[in-house]
Copies of this chain bind each other. A is one copy, B any other.
Amino acid sequence: MSETLPNLTALDAVSEMRAGRLSSEALVTACLERIAQTDAQIRAWAHVDPDLALEQAREADRIRKSGRATGALHGVPVGLKDIVDTRDMPTELGTPICAGRRPETDAAIVNRLREAGAVILGKTKTTEFAFAHPTDTANPHDAARTPGGSSSGSAAAVAAGHVPIAMGTQTNGSVIRPASFCGVYGFKPTRGVISRTGILRTSVTLDQVGTFGRSLEDVAVLANVLGGFDPDDPESFARPRPDMLGGARSEPPVEPVFAWFDLPHHDRLDSDAAEGLESVIDALGGQVERFGAAPQLAALVDVHAKIHEYEFCQHLAEIIDEHRARLSPTLEPIVARGLAISRAEYEDALAVKQSAETFFSGHFNDFDAILAPAATGEAPALASGGTGDPVFCTIWTLAGLPAVTLPILVGETGLPIGVQLVGGPEEDDRLLRTASWFQTELARQSEGGAL
């Protein structure tokens, strides 16, 4: 029994615990055992404190048994990307420069997790400062492949059954891409739904928090728990948030319609991914409208890079000043580029971003979601030295739109490939409702042999 416990989804675990058939201590123990057995190969974790995790689990059990209130993730272990400040565990930002760093306070989302009864299992590996230089984490489906990045450990940990759910951040493609490579669900809500206070700031404009899970409902419930207004986060908004779990659990009033944009960077798609996406479009038939090459959209990739690299150098100016020689050979040229971007170029880029947001928000009057690749295809080899190409996420992240990837396709070597759906701003519930319909419909057709 305990060997299969780590395969439960978060919401199934919550149900079992509510019914008294499972304790948090048993679940956390099983997850810790799975980690002990397999993390030497996968290397998903920067820090795990079994005693602290078990202490939280026993406290969750005590609360449950006392009949007091339980939370939406009561007793469920969660992994946090190691750029999220925790006062009781190190937070080392994926760089030896910050080895042994111990924050004094918890990030805002950590407080939300504690209030929801979740067990903070540990910190997952992140690329250097959540940018490009890879960790040593292996893809659980093939140890010679990358799990993607920058939320490498979170995606790998969920795929490996170390935890049912984990959070990550996405400044470019750092949630959707690793989720696609690792064959799990990844969800990045609308910019501003989830607070970033206490999380490493790499781009105040672009950084966004997202979730990993092994079901659509799991990425939704974790986003519900993490979401909330925070006046200390400049992108956080003082408005009601969509009920994302409610969205994932509901059915569309009419069959949803999708938009597909033919973008120049689609020539970077692997052939198996391109064919898989075509089969999805075929399966949806008239429910997909294709839009031809849109050069103004392609230009947004450069606009994104300008903002990302400029802001990264601003936010990390002190570290760059003091420790530049210790930056990786991957990050060094990015920093050199970022430092060379002028204030005027940066401000121009921000203005274009603004117009892109306006452009996209109008689109969702006619479509429920944009259908798009999540990544180039199967996870690239670790030997290639990177974490894969984030370009299929860049535009949507820039516009702050909610995006979800579903592990629907299988590549030519049998590895998972995700399919991305992108929604209208603050319509995260509608996006997840559409995603739920989408995966049910494709499964139905697949069973009938149509896909």
Binds B, one of A66-74, A201-209, A414-422: A66-74
Question: Known contacts A105-B231, A231-B106: does B114 contact A69 (CB below 8 Å)?
Answer: no
A239 at the interface (CB under 8 A from B): yes
Contact B69 A239 (CB under 8 A): yes
Residue in B111, B112, B114, B241 whose beta carbon sits within 8 Å of that of A115 in the complex? B241
B238 and A68 contacting across the interface, CB-CB below 8 Å: no
Q: Is the CB of A240 within 8 A of B105?
A: no
* A231 CA to B4 CA, complexed, in Å: 36
Kindly list chain B residues whose C-beta atoms are within 8 Å of the C-beta of A438.
Answer: none
Q: Is A378 in the interface zone, CB < 8 Å from B?
A: no
Can you report 13 residue pairs joining A to B where beta carbons are below 8 Å apart?
Answer: A69-B239, A74-B240, A105-B231, A106-B231, A111-B229, A111-B230, A111-B231, A111-B238, A114-B229, A114-B239, A115-B229, A115-B240, A117-B239
In A68-115, the 8 Å CB interface with B consists of 68-71, 74, 105-106, 111-112, 114-115
Which A106-135 residues sit within 8 Å CB-CB of chain B? 106, 111-112, 114-117
Report the Cα distance A106→B232, complex, angstroms: 11
A241 / chain B contacts, CB cutoff of 8 Å: 69, 115
Given contacts A115-B239, A238-B114, A239-B63, contact A68 B426 (CB under 8 A): yes
Q: Is the CB of B111 within 8 A of A240?
A: no
Interface status of A243 (Cβ within 8 A of chain B): yes
A217 within 8 Å of B (CB atoms): no
Interface positions, chain A 191-231, Cβ under 8 Å from B, are 228-231
> Contacts of A67 on B, CB cut-off 8 Å?
427
What is the chain B residue whose CB lies nearest that of A72? B240
Alpha-carbon distance A304/B116, docked complex (angstroms): 33
Q: Does A69 lie within 8 Å of B117, measured CB to CB? A: no
> Residue among A105, A115, A242 with the most chain B CB within 10 A?
A115
Chain B contacts for A74, CB-based, 8 A? 240
Residue numbers in B under 8 Å from A61 (CB-CB): none
Contact status B111-A243, CB under 8 Å: no
CB-CB < 8 A to A240: which residues of B? 63, 68-71, 74, 115-117
Chain B residues, Cβ within 8 Å of A389: none
Residue pair A115, B69 in contact (C-beta under 8 Å)? no
